[in-house]
Amino acid sequence: MPDEKIYSVAVTGRNGQLGKELAQIAPQFPQFRFYFLSREDFPVDDMEKMSGWLKENPADYLINCAAYTAVDKAESEKEHAFKINGEAPGIIAGLLSKHAGKLIQLSTDYVFDGRSSTPLTEKAATHPINIYGASKLQGDQNAMSKNAQTLIIRTSWLYSYYGNNFVKTMMRLMKTKESIQVVNDQVGSPTYAADLAKAILQIISSEKFIPGIYHYSNEGETSWYGFAEEIKKITGSSCTVLPVASSGYPTAAKRPAYSLLDKSKIKKDYKLTIPGWRTSLAVCIDALLKSAV
């Protein structure tokens, strides 16, 4: 294909953390024409409307950031979670395959059961322990079965300047409370959505598109307690952060105790340099503090 071709990239879930971060850096990639789609533009539970949109706008790439993400609520809304996370990716993949469109499907560390003690590779056995993880795993499998040009990116502990997330919740609580309790027996790595957005656009800008499963999070390892302690340190808060076992903080959905992702494959195949989680956290908090002034 000639170099001057402008490729079209559709992004679902434009109002989510990752969708908004992708929109922020999209102008740095003039070789693409972006379509940022809301739930109204592209309802992932309405095959007819999705089909109609893709017929009018046959995207070269679709980055599916739309998802049902209420992990605890999913336990009581199983049907809805599976419709959005499980069925929709397969439908989208099938629609894209009609015009040789490529799919980038966002997935999660919650497809694992948390019993590992070493960083999880893409070949590690999946065994979700909650409805959210099971619905996302089904979506990954459906997408890959309906379109050979599907690339799955599993990520973990996503946060951003935008939306609601752990970092913003902790910053808010640390301003108003003398002490907070945070679980210390769940291990993984946070992911700054801005870094993930950049990685995705580097992937589709590269000379090669390699279908399959990839892992991406920031480098390093911590617990939610360690994550909170770093937020406290960067913000200079005087709030006391107390470690607590998951058993002392029961939730509707079980969380994997260990979900640290091995990023070797994505770094090797796409020559990505991934920042450490502390470095990226400081960048995000700096932006949040500046915007609050």
CA distances 109 to 23, 80, 112, 224, Å, are 24, 20, 6, 15
List b or e across 186-215, with b for residues whose CB sees 16 or more CB atoms inside 10 angstroms: bbbbbbbbbbbbbbbbebbeeeeeeeebbb
Q: What is the largest CA-CA distance in the chain?
A: 61
Distance of CA 181 to the CA centre of its chain: 25
What is the number of other CB atoms lying within 10 angstroms of the CB of residue 260?
22
The C-alpha atoms of residue 149 and residue 157 are separated, in whole angstroms, by 26
The C-alpha atoms of residue 8 and residue 206 are separated, in whole angstroms, by 15
258 tagged catalytic: no
Angle between helices 131-146 and 88-97 in degrees, nearest 10: 10
Q: Which of 61, 110, 132, 214 is catalytic?
A: 132
Which positions are catalytic? 132
